[in-house]
Each structure stands twice: as structure tokens, then as C-alpha cells.
């Protein structure tokens, strides 16, 4: 055995051995229970970064552990290869996005292998392969048949930088999430998934996801955004009827005006002729304002009076109808009833334009509100109704119910549910995506491409400029087809799919990645789904994870899967920041990449650093010093095995039973097995699991075994240590395990060995240290048998000198005894 720890001489060797043995192939244990461990697949733009290093290290530790626990594990990897960045890069340097993507994949694969990740590489695929995206097209056609896909003529977010439509969910503060260019509204025909039809179901499903972080569940709930309210019709006599949506129908007696969105269809109709010019100017002005500016936090509230009046159906009162820039056409009915006393926006608007403020809700307790004209700000809490006719005196909640019911009974409204979630517009005027499989025919209209003509392959020869028409429109051989129905010349759809489509079902494709008859094998799905553990960044909390849940429900409807949630447990990992605590970025010059670190320290050290720095969900800062420390730990472990070679041949029959350091060592060994095992089964706090291994090494280090029994105890510890280390630092663990086990085991691999078990009798200490307190303050400690009762411990404690000093001259009023932990004398006088 080499005296020095040299990771570079051992890591590639074991990587090769594992690969040759097919150690990480799925399905090696067909009779064992299945487990599916999945990390979010990477988008291969450029080189692998530390964030990737973290996700895959966390998932890999789990996968390796579960394999050793005897499960049949699937741990696949692939590449999310289609997408805007590759296309933007292509626009920049003129290279084909596929060429660049394939290069990046080669680099990624090499780095992942150098990190020793236990992927089943035989299942790898990239979403840019027609063998994959043809099934995106297949799903599209199935959803089209079922009305889940539809064509809509609607306002869309138009990114002025990417020149393409992006989803609502991808707009951040009025800007494109990717390129940060301003997003403007534009009317455009587009394809959409009817995800809103699943809104209630997606919401209900969250209650069953008990192993998802609460944070993520809350974000999804907010994103789906169910609000229960009421729709109420405010007639404009002789003109029209304005439907307003409100969640606070209990405040309706305080409604002093009604506001329409500038784009509301009734604007023209209700506006009185003398105000038409002013209204039109306002509408024009608002339309020109960018979404970001209009809906930004500090944007001024502006409005204009239409001259019309609408009737509050509850009171019969006539209230003025206004337009305002802050009312959005796309939400609710695009019209709101304004209750300035109980809504802050309405309040500010009313003050600005001198509209009346009428208090109709009083706080249930505490001071009453002043009259509306003296109110300093809106009171938006629930309370007790006043000045609300027959509803006066009711609480807000029962009032909402009673009032919505009355609206329904009298036919001027109804209880209504509204969602924040919008349908998912997924067509992109881009090249590097899945072609949408439809044909536009002059005779037959929109004609789906027949299944037997799939895939519609992305042509290589597209000219990508990022401007004007979609790139595919400029490829005549692609565009010009004959109609599958009538055989006349027709045009292909030139738009492609959002890449979130690709990542919505890839986990299922891993189950039969080479299937050319169907997207995946439903029998395999029955065995492997849902995913047991899914590891990825919390930045995907809403978009990807919602689409992914939606798609799974669609696959359920298609009979391809048996359950409606795709994943049981979600682990969201924190960011790896630079050494300065800031986000790694070229701008700060604080980027640390996994590749160079593997070359410097070896994969095992890097993996250990990532796992030891903090629990998975916390952000961590890169630290060169900590990395050094972990390299030193592995070198120390290495030296330990080297120094104890004389223990390798002792047999377990000689294990020590008599009290002494080697029996203590055995206890430590078994306790460590227990702690690390629980670390995997419960909290996934790998940092404390690794700390436990360090403690074992520290205890082992100074021991000098003299007898066979001593050596057997050391050997037991060394065998266990190699196994326990294996999920975290697999290469060095494999090497050391072979050293201990010796030549007899040369054909076996540690990664295939069973996970060590612990003896429950050994993890329980027989002597415990009990803290002694007087009035809650620590005054000493005593050693006692673990089984000791109160009387025994009390006697031991009272014999302690320091304790006696604090008890002297006092009366013991009470004694609190916690077995195995403490005894507390409560004294007085």
C-alpha cells in the first residue's frame, strides 16, 4: 500500500472498474425494491459549474447509499439540450447550436465522470435528438386531440430582445427572465397548454407532497393563486352591464366608483360622447407604456372618468365609472369595484381624484375608524359590517358568503373562483426547439401531422439571426409540404416549443430511453415511478416543477402512468457562492470550477467539501481552507489504514467483550453506523454524517492494538468506515476497503456490498454522564449506570462537593430527574 494519499492514481482506476463491472446499471436487482434518484438534468451551456457539482454530489451520495442498502436503483443522467442560450450563442458566432451543444455535452460528460458520479450512462440522451423530441410532438398531438393544447389569439409577452413570445411565468418585473430586455404586450396567435384546467388538481395535490420543502409548496400555492370571491354585475342603464370580480364582496356597500381596465371591451360603449376624446387619449397613453413601468411599484395611479354611471345592485346607488392604469385586463373580469375605505390602491386613487370614501367595516375590537373623509389610510382587515343594510352587524367572512348567495339568488352575480395561474403559452419563434407538428392548409386549415410522419425533424440548414421571421420560416424545404388531408401544397408551422416542454417529462424517458414505439414503457413506469428523490435548485420552484406536475397528470390521463404526482420527495439545494460570499460570477472574478478542483485535490475531496460545508438546502461559500482540511482528513484516513495493516487479518470471532478502550471503540463504530444511516434515512444532513466519521477516525487514531481482540475491533471499525465513507468519497473508500479485505475479495466491489448494520446493544452506553443542577444552574456532573433511577442518581449527586456547597443551609423543595440526562435540585431559603 502506498504510504501517501494520491487521489489521481486511484480515482480513474476505480471509475474504470465500476464501469467495466456495470456497477451502476439499472435493473441489476430485479427482485429488490426499486428506488428512483434523480437530479435535475443540466443545460449544457459552457462548462460545468459548482452548482452542478453540488446537485449531483448530493444525489449521488443518496443513490450510492440506496444501492448498498440493497435497492434496485435507477440513477440516470441526460442533457437538456434545446434552448435559447445556445441559439443566442449561435447568433453571435455563426456556429450551429447543435455543434456547440454537442461539444459542451462531451465536456460535461467527462467532468461528471471525473467526479465519480454513479450514473447509469447507458440511459443517457439529449433532448435535441429527434428520438427524444419526436415524443414531445406525439404528446402535443394527444393533447391537441383532447383539447389540452389549443390555439389562442391573445395578448402575449413579446420579448424585445429575443423577438419571441415567452410565458407569463418567465416574465420577471416586466423583463425577460433570460435576456432582461423589456417585455411588451403584443397580440399574436400562439399555442397554449390548458394548464388552468388542472389548477384545482395541482393545488390539491400539494397537500399530498409531504416530503417537499414547505417553502416550495407555499410558492406553488401562491403561484396557482386560488382566490374565492364573487362576480357582481353593475348595470349601466340602457348601455351594458359591467361584471366586476372581488374577493371582498363584504365591502360592497362602501363602493363609491367602478374602474375598468383601459383595454376593457366596454370602454367605448359606456363612455359619454363629451368625454370620448379624453378617454381615448388616456387609453392610447397607457397602451404605449411598457408593462414594467405601468405595473411597477412606484408607478403613479392614473385614471380618467368616462362620464358613465353604473348601479350597485345591492344598494341601487349610481356610482361613476372610471378607467385606471393599474387595473389589468388579464386578471378577473378586467373591472373592479372600488372601495377606497378598505383597499389601499382604491384609497389613493380616490384621494387623488376627489372621490368619496365610505367606511363600511369596523375592526372587531379596538378603536373605531373615523369617517371616510378623515381616514388616513385604508383599513383592509376583516371586521364587522356597518352601513350595509341587512348585512350590518355580520362579520366579514359570513357576510361574504351571505352576500354572494344573495347575488346568485337574485341573478346579479355569483360566487366565483379565480386563479393567478394562466395557461402556458409555449410556442416560440425560435429555431433551437421542438418543431410543432401541424400544417396550415388553405383548404383544411390546421392539420395535425399524422403520427406516422413523426418526427418532424429540425432542419440543419436554418439561418439564425434572432430577428424578424422565425428561422424555420426561412427554410423552404421545411416550410413547403403537401397537406396530409387533401394533398395540396401547404405550409408547416414554423414555431417551436418552449424548452420547458423537454424537461416536463424527461424523467419518464429515462425508463426506456431507446424505445421507438412510444415515449416510454408504461410497465417500467409502474415499477419506477414516482421518482423517489428529486434534487435540484429552488429556482425551479414554480415554473419547471409546476409544468412537470402538470405533464404527469396529462400522462396519467393518457394511461401511461399510474399516479398523478411525479415525485415523492424534493430536495432543493442552496447556492455555492464564491469565497467572498457573493454569487459566483465573472463580474466578481470569484468563480471556482469543479474541473480544476478535481485536478488539484481529487474528486473525493471536492465531494466531501460540498457535503460537509452545510446541510444541502443552505447556501455555502467556497473556502480554500476548508477544502484543504478535507483533503487532510482523507490523507489522515489513508495513513490510518496504512498504519493498521497488521489488523487486517484478525477474525471477528476474537472481538473484545471486556471493558476498555477497544470495547469503547466498538461502541463508537456501531454508533457511527447508526448516525450515518439515520443521516440518509431522515434529514439528509450529510455534514453531521461526515462529522461522525471524523470522530470515529479521531478515536481510532491513537489506539495501539496489542491483542487479537484489539486488532479485531480495529478491523471492524476500518471495514465499517470504508463502507460509511463510500457514498461521500467513493474512490478512496473502495481502495481502502480492498486493502482491508485483502486479495480474497479482489472480484468484489465495495459499491455492491451491503450497507453495514449496527448492534443496538452496542449503541446504548452502559454508563452515562448526568448533569447536576441546583436551581437550573450547572453545579457538577456524575457518572451513573444508564439504568440508574432517581434515588441512586440523587445520592451520587449529593455526594459531590460542589453540589453540597450549593445545597448547604437550603431546603430542597423539589427534585427534577430526567433519566440519563440530568438531576435538578430546586432549593429555597
Residues in 286-305 at the binding interface with RNA, rule: CB under 7 A: 294-297, 299-302
- 302 Cβ neighbours under 8 A, 6+ residues apart: 282, 286, 324, 325
Crossing angle between the packed helical segments 603-612 and 50-68, to the nearest 10 degrees: 90
Question: Quick check: 626 binds RNA (CB under 7 A)?
Answer: yes
Window contacting RNA (CB under 7 A); options: 14-22, 453-461, 553-561, 617-625: 617-625
Nearer to RNA, 99 or 624 (CB): 624
Residue 105's nearest CA partner among 65, 63, 47 is: 47
Q: Determine, following the binding rule CB under 7 A, whether residue 788 of this chain makes contact with RNA.
A: no
Q: Which residues contact 114 (CB under 8 A, 6 or more apart)?
A: 11, 12, 15, 595, 598, 603
Taking the least distance from each CB to RNA, the nearer of 218 and 707 is: 218
Q: Which residue has the cell 413547403?
A: 480
Select 108 or 305, whichever has its Cβ closest to RNA.
305
Q: Is 334 in the site for RNA (CB under 7 A)?
A: yes
Among 31, 274, 373, 625, binds RNA (CB under 7 A): 625
Is residue 726 left, alpha or beta, with left meaning phi > 0 and alpha meaning psi from -120 to 50? alpha
d(CA 493, CA 150): 14
Nearer to RNA among residue 702 and residue 829 (C-beta): 702
Distance CA 249, CA 381 (A): 13
Residue 773 touches RNA, criterion: CB under 7 A: yes
Nearest-approach distance from CB 671 to RNA, in angstroms: 11
One-character DSSP codes across 761-822: HHHS-SEEEEEEEETTEEEEEEEEETT--HHHHHHHHHTSHHHHHHHTT-EEEEEEEETTTE
User: Binding RNA by CB under 7 A: which of 698, 707, 757, 804?
Assistant: 698
Residue number with CB closer to RNA (136 or 170): 170
- List the one residue from 206, 402, 542, 591 that touches RNA (CB under 7 A): 542
State the minimum distance, in angstroms, from the CB of residue 248 to RNA: 5
Give me the residues paired with residue 185 across strands: 157
Least spacing, CB of residue 325 vs RNA, in Å: 6
What kind and span of H or E run contains 713?
helix 708-725
Backbone phi and psi for residue 625, each to the nearest 5 degrees, phi listed first:
-65, -45
Structure letter (DSSP) for residue 659: S
DSSP letter, residue 364: S
Number of residues in contact with RNA under rule CB under 7 A = 87
Residue 92: enclosing H or E segment and its boundaries? helix 84-93
Q: Pick from 69, 178, 474, 636: which binds RNA (CB under 7 A)?
A: 636
Q: Which is nearer to RNA, 197 or 575 (CB)?
A: 575
Of 30-69, binders to RNA (CB under 7 A) are: none
| Residues between 498 and 537 that touch RNA (CB under 7 A) | none
Decide: 290 and 256 in contact? Cβ < 8 Å.
no
**Residue 86 or 784 having the CB closest to RNA:** 784
Cα separation, 723 vs 732, in Å, equals: 11
Nearest distance from C-beta of residue 616 to RNA, angstroms: 10
Minimum distance from CB of 212 to RNA (Å)? 12
Report the C-alpha gap between 604 and 115 in whole angstroms: 8
**By CB under 7 A, is residue 331 in contact with RNA?**
yes
Q: Lay out the site mask for RNA across 656-695 (x = CB under 7 A, - = otherwise).
A: -----------------------------x-xx-xx--xx
Q: Which three cell numbers stand for residue 556?
A: 396519467
Please choose, out of 468-476, 529-537, 758-766, 776-784, the segment that lies near RNA by the rule CB under 7 A. Answer: 776-784
Comparison of 123 and 342: residue with beta carbon closer to RNA:
342
- Residue 601 binds RNA (CB under 7 A): no
For residue 166, count CB atoms less than 10 angstroms from its CB and return exposed for 0-12, middle for 13-18, buried for 19 or more.
Answer: buried
Among 38, 166, 447, 541, binds RNA (CB under 7 A): 541
Q: Is 824 in the site for RNA (CB under 7 A)?
A: yes
Q: Among candidates 656, 650, 602, 653, which has minimal Cα distance to 630?
A: 602
Maximum C-alpha span of the chain: 109
Q: Which residues 6+ apart lie within 8 Å of 557 measured at CB?
A: 146
Judged by CB under 7 A, which stretch of 197-205, 212-220, 267-275, 406-414 contacts RNA? Answer: 212-220
Q: 450551429: which residue's cell? A: 96
Residues 399-428 that bind RNA (CB under 7 A): 418, 420
Q: What track of x and - describes contact with RNA for positions 238 through 277 (by CB under 7 A)?
A: -------xxxx------------x----------------
Binding mask 153-182 for RNA (x = CB under 7 A): -------------------xx---------
Determine phi and psi for 74, rounding to 5 degrees.
-110, 125
**341-370 positions binding RNA, by CB under 7 A:** 343, 345
d(CA 170, CA 178) in angstroms, rounded, equals: 8
Q: Which is nearer to RNA, 382 or 695 (CB)?
A: 695
Among 186, 390, 649, 821, binds RNA (CB under 7 A): 821
| One of 769, 785, 786, 790 touching RNA (CB under 7 A) | 769
Amino acid at each position: 500500500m502506498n504510504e501517501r494519499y494520491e487521489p489521481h492514481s486511484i480515482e480513474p482506476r476505480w471509475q474504470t472498474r465500476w464501469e467495466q463491472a456495470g456497477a451502476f446499471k439499472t435493473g441489476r436487482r430485479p427482485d429488490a425494491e426499486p428506488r428512483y434518484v434523480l437530479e435535475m438534468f443540466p443545460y449544457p451551456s459552457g462548462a460545468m459549474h459548482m452548482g452542478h457539482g453540488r446537485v449531483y454530489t448530493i444525489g449521488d451520495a443518496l443513490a450510492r447509499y440506496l444501492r448498498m442498502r440493497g435497492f434496485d436503483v435507477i440513477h440516470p443522467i441526460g442533457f437538456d439540450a434545446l434552448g435559447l442560450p445556445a441559439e443566442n450563442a449561435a447568433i453571435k458566432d455563426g456556429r450551429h447550436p447543435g455543434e456547440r451543444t454537442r461539444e459542451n455535452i462531451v465536456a460535461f460528460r467527462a467532468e461528471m465522470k471525473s467526479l465519480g458520479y454513479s450514473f447509469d450512462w447507458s440511459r443517457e440522451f439529449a433532448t435535441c435528438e429527434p428520438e427524444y423530441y419526436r415524443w414531445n410532438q406525439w404528446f402535443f398531438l394527444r393533447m391537441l386531440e383532447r383539447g389540452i393544447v389549443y390555439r389562442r389569439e391573445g395578448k402575449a409577452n413579446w420579448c424585445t430582445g429575443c423577438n419571441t413570445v415567452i410565458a407569463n411565468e418567465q416574465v420577471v418585473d416586466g423583463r425577460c427572465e433570460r435576456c432582461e430586455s423589456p417585455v411588451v404586450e403584443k397580440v399574436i396567435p400562439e399555442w397554449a397548454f390548458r394548464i388552468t384546467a388542472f389548477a384545482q388538481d395541482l393545488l390539491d395535490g400539494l397537500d399530498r407532497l409531504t416530503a417537499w420543502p414547505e417553502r416550495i409548496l407555499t410558492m406553488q400555492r401562491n403561484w396557482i393563486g386560488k382566490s374565492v370571491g364573487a362576480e357582481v354585475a353593475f348595470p349601466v342603464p340602457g348601455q351594458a352591464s359591467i361584471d366586476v370580480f372581488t374577493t371582498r364582496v363584504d365591502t360592497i356597500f362602501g363602493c363609491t366608483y367602478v374602474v375598468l381596465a383601459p383595454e376593457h371591451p366596454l370602454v367605448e360603449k359606456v363612455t359619454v360622447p363629451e368625454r370620448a376624446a379624453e378617454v381615448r387619449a388616456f387609453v392610447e397613453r397607457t397602451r404605449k407604456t411598457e408593462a414594467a413601468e405601468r405595473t411597477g411599484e412606484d408607478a403613479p395611479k392614473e385614471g380618467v372618468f368616462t362620464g358613465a354611471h353604473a348601479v350597485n345592485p345591492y344598494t341601487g346607488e349610481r356610482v361613476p365609472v372610471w378607467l385606471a392604469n393599474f387595473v389589468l385586463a388579464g386578471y378577473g373580469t378586467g373591472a373592479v369595484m372600488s372601495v377606497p375605505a378598505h383597499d389601499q390602491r382604491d384609497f389613493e386613487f380616490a384621494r387623488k381624484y376627489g372621490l368619496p370614501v365610505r367606511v363600511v367595516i369596523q375592526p372587531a375590537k379596538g378603536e373605531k375608524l373615523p369617517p371616510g373623509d378623515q381616514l388616513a389610510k385604508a383599513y383592509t382587515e376583516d371586521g364587522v359590517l356597518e352601513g350595509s343594510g341587512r348585512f350590518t352587524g355580520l362579520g366579514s367572512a359570513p357576510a361574504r358568503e351571505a352576500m354572494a348567495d344573495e347575488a346568485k339568488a337574485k341573478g346579479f352575480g355569483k360566487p366565483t373562483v379565480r386563479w393567478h395561474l394562466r395557461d402556458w403559452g409555449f410556442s416560440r419563434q425560435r429555431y433551437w426547439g421542438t418543431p410543432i407538428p401541424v400544417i396550415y392548409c388553405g383548404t383544411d386549415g390546421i392539420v395535425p401531422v399524422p403520427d406516422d410522419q413523426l418526427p418532424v425533424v429540425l432542419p440543419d440548414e436554418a439561418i439564425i439571426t434572432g430577428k424578424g421571421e422565425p428561422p424555420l420560416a426561412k427554410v423552404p424545404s421545411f416550410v413547403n409540404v403537401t397537406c396530409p388531408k387533401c394533398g395540396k401544397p401547404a405550409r408547416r408551422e414554423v414555431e417551436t416549443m418552449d424548452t420547458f416542454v423537454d424537461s416536463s417529462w424527461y424523467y419518464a424517458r429515462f425508463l426506456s430511453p431507446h424505445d421507438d414505439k412510444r415515449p416510454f414503457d408504461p410497465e417500467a413506469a409502474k415499477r419506477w415511478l414516482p421518482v423517489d428523490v428529486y434534487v435540484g435548485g429552488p429556482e425551479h420552484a414554480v415554473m419547471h416543477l409546476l409544468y412537470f406536475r402538470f405533464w404527469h397528470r396529462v400522462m396519467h390521463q393518457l394511461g401511461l402512468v399510474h399516479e398523478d404526482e411525479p415525485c415523492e420527495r424534493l430536495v432543493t439545494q442552496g447556492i455555492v457562492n464564491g469565497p467572498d460570499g457573493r454569487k459566483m460570477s465573472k463580474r466578481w472574478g470569484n468563480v471556482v470550477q469543479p474541473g480544476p478542483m478535481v485536478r488539484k485535490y481529487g474528486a473525493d475531496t471536492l465531494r466531501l467539501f460540498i457535503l460537509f460545508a452545510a446541510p444541502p438546502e443552505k447556501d455555502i461559500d467556497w473556502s480554500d481552507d476548508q477544502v484543504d482540511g478535507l483533503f487532510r482528513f482523507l490523507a489522515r484516513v489513508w495513513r490510518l489504514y496504512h498504519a493498521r495493516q497488521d489488523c487486517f487479518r484478525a477474525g471477528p470471532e476474537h472481538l473484545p467483550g471486556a471493558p476498555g478502550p477497544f470495547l469503547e471503540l466498538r461502541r463508537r463504530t456501531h454508533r457511527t453506523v447508526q448516525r450515518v444511516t439515520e443521516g440518509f434515512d431522515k434529514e439528509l444532513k450529510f455534514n453531521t454524517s461526515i462529522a461522525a466519521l471524523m470522530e470515529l477516525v479521531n478515536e481510532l487514531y491513537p489506539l495501539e492494538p496489542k491483542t487479537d481482540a484489539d486488532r479485531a475491533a480495529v478491523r471492524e471499525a476500518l471495514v465499517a468506515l470504508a463502507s460509511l465513507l463510500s457514498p461521500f468519497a467513493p474512490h478512496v473508500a473502495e481502495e481502502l476497503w480492498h486493502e482491508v479485505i485483502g486479495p480474497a475479495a479482489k472480484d468484489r466491489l465495495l459499491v455492491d456490498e451491503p450497507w453495514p448494520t449496527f448492534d443496538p446493544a452496542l449503541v446504548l452506553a452502559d454508563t452515562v454522564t448526568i448533569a447536576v443542577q441546583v436551581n437550573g444552574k450547572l453545579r457538577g456532573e456524575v457518572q451513573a449506570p444508564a439504568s440508574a433511577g432517581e434515588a441512586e442518581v440523587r445520592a451520587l449527586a449529593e455526594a459531590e462537593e460542589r453540589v453540597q456547597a450549593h445545597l448547604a443551609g437550603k431546603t430542597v423543595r423539589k427534585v427534577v430527574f430526567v433519566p440519563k440526562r440530568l438531576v435538578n435540585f430546586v432549593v429555597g431559603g
